[in-house]
Amino acid sequence: THASMRGGDDMLEYSLIGVLVNGSQIREVPWSIDVQPGDVAIENCIATVTPAGITASAGQPFEFDVVVRDPWDNLRNHSKDTVELYEYNPATSSRGDRWGDYQVTATGHGSYRITARHTLARQTRFTFSVNGVTSPGQQHVHVLTIVPADVCIGQCVVTGELSAVVGQYVALLIALRDEFGNVCSPQQTSASEISVANVRLISGDIDPKELQMITRISRVEFYPGI
């Protein structure tokens, strides 16, 4: 049940077997045997993800490994298996949609490096399959948290009053978003500095010297999720 392993030079390490007759080894040169790993045992395969899961910024790549083993825990280092990533559907306790933006690179030692990238900020769960087989166990379900990227001024949206009465403040709602349209987190918005710029007087009887005072920001309140 012990399969041959690959050494540091990526060559298979064979076991030498001597044949004894009445306790004496025959004079022939010792011969080797290459023990091939068995079929994939999905219950023995693992993803190198901590119990806390994976946290990454939107648009930034993240990596982890999937280790493929046979029923006797031998690494599947003789064969090239197909590893795929899927969303996990908790309602049906089964895999959902297949991931789109990811790459799988074989290491040659029975493990596969996954390099993935997501742009939608959310928290979800995912699982994997090997050669089309997915494990039903929760040990193969992992948490993925994608947080918004940095604030992108080109994606920010301003809404509010288009007209106001002289002497009263104008209320504006500014949605801070990243380059992918994700609403920024409370930690990001609380550290943001908002100021008024490019103010022009189109019409009205107002002294230009007083324009800066009239358009100053008096208070900023943050509403996470807007």
Domains of the chain: 42-147 (2.60.40.10), 153-214 (no CATH)
195-226: string of b/e by CB count within 10 Å (b at 16+)? Answer: eeeeeeeeeeeeeeeeeeebeeeeeeeeeeee
Please state the rounded mean pLDDT for residues 161-165: 65
Structure tokens belonging to residue 123: 């928290």
Side-chain half-sphere CA neighbours of 20 within 13 A: 3
Q: Residue 172, Cβ neighbours under 10 Å: how many?
A: 12
SS3 content of the chain, % helix, strand, coil (to 5): 10, 35, 55
More confident residue, 42 or 14: 42
- 48 vs 214: which has the higher pLDDT: 48
Average pLDDT on 89-94 reads 91
| One-letter amino acid of 176 | L
Q: Nearest to residue 88, comparing CAs of 117, 123, 131, 45?
A: 123
Q: Residue 68: what pLDDT?
A: 96
Indicate the average pLDDT of the chain: 82
At residue 226, does pLDDT exceed 60?
A: no
Span 98-143, pLDDT tens digits: 999 999 999 878 899 999 999 999 999 999 999 999 987 899 999 9
**Residue 200 scores a pLDDT above 60:** yes
Measured between alpha carbons, how far apart are the two ends of the chain, in Å?
Answer: 58
- pLDDT-based confidence at residue 204 (cuts at 50, 70, 90): low
Cα 187 to Cα 167: distance, rounded to the nearest angstrom: 33
